[in-house]
Structure 1
Amino acid sequence: MSAFRKLSSLPAPVRWAAPPVALLGGVALLLGAWSVPGDVAPPQPKAAEAGYCEALDKALPDAVLGHRRTDPSPASPYTAAWGSSPRTVLRCGIARPGYLDDDPFSRAPEVNDVQWGMSSDGAGGYRFVTTLRKAYVEVTVPKGAYPNYADPLSELTDAIKATIPTGL
């Protein structure tokens, strides 16, 4: 039996409702695909780092280059985000990334007296991690979020300098 015959054998109200229901379902799928992913695993910093990260969270800007702060879930003083899609994510108190062992200064930008290690995120964007600070701060900048991938770092460095001292 063809799909048309199956559909025509249904009562008229069901046949009339089928196209709008299918359309709404398609719209719901599209909106779900375009929504901002909410989950960002918060780091578990050591006790000494946690205090620095909590102070940083309070000092972070409400906007980065026109992108409003919209923190990820679950709520944590160790994570922050700006923008919607794509969005820039900051995580404070992460473990030291292994790529810093591979000559961390070979591709490391220095922005406003804060040194950053850098690696690709595997999707066309970049991960930056502070170096030479008492806590590691990671900033993930997705492809297309800004004209220059390092642009948001300048907006974050004052808060980092004010709350996370230099040293290892």
Structure 2
Amino acid sequence: MPRTALPAGAAAAIAVLTVLAGCSGVVRVDPPTPTGVAAAACEKLAGALPRTLDGLDRVASEPASPYVAVWGEGEIALRCGVERPAAMDPTAEVSDVDGVGWFNDPQRPALYTAVNREAYVELTISPEHAPAAIQVDLAGPIKAAVPQ
């Protein structure tokens, strides 16, 4: 049976996520290509991320990358070392969740980016999950691995 990463509306809004069809449960996510300090921080973050998040187990992504983590059938996906959000202007609202600043792109409501770090950390959350709870669970690993 084909598996989907996100509900149709969210999947359309998040072009980076696509799912490989089949029963493998492997989720296709285009990995970013950070360099330097950002790459080192993202590699450290990869080892600090939880195995479960909001009741979902971590699953494999394709292609395999230390800069990508996926939980469930793609319901939650993290990409570390992405570019600065294009929609974030100097007056954009950023929410602080346990010491991590999150920008929520108003044009892509399922997309959040941690922006007050040496590497931008992008988080895609399907509507079935509460973003704040997930951001709280990820705050510790992000703060420990990705310096301000």
Q: Normalising by structure 1, what TM-score?
A: 0.70
Matched residue count: 128
SS at structure 2 position matched to 1:69:
strand
> Pairwise CA RMSD of aligned residues?
1.7
CA distance in 2 between partners of 1:121 and 1:132 (Å): 21
* Paired AA for residue 146 in structure 2: I
The one of 81, 92, 98 equivalent to 1:93 is 81
SS at structure 1 position matched to 2:41:
helix
**Residue 71 (structure 2) pairs with residue 82 (structure 1):** yes
Quick check: which has more Rg, 1 or 2? 1
**Residue 47 (structure 2) pairs with residue 47 (structure 1):** no
Following TM superposition, by how much is the alpha carbon of 1:128 offset from its aligned partner in structure 2, in angstroms? 0.8
**Residue 46 (structure 2) pairs with residue 64 (structure 1):** no
8 Å CA contact 2:88, 2:105 repeated in 1: no
Instruction: Structure 1: state its 5+ residue gaps.
Output: 1-30
SS at structure 1 position matched to 2:131:
coil
Quote the residue 1:132 is aligned against: 116
Larger relative contact order, structure 1 or 2 (CA cutoff 8 Å, min sep 6): 2
* Paired AA for residue 139 in structure 1: L
The superposition leaves residues 109-133 of structure 1 with CA deviations (integer Å, 9 ceiling, x where unpaired) of 21111111112564xx521111121
Q: Name the structure with the higher strand share.
A: 2
Q: Normalising by structure 2, what TM-score?
A: 0.79
Residues 159 and 78 of structure 1: CA distance in aligned 2, closer, same or farther (over 3 Å): same
**Runs of 4+ that moved beyond 3 A:** none
CA distance in 1 between partners of 2:136 and 2:142 (Å): 10
* Paired AA for residue 115 in structure 1: G
**Residue 91 (structure 2) pairs with residue 103 (structure 1):** yes
Percent identity between the two aligned chains:
34
Q: Name the structure with the higher helix share.
A: 1
Residues 117 and 151 of structure 1: CA distance in aligned 2, closer, same or farther (over 3 Å): same
Quote the residue 2:125 is aligned against: 141
Quote the residue 1:15 is aligned against: none
SS at structure 2 position matched to 1:49:
helix
* Paired AA for residue 69 in structure 2: A
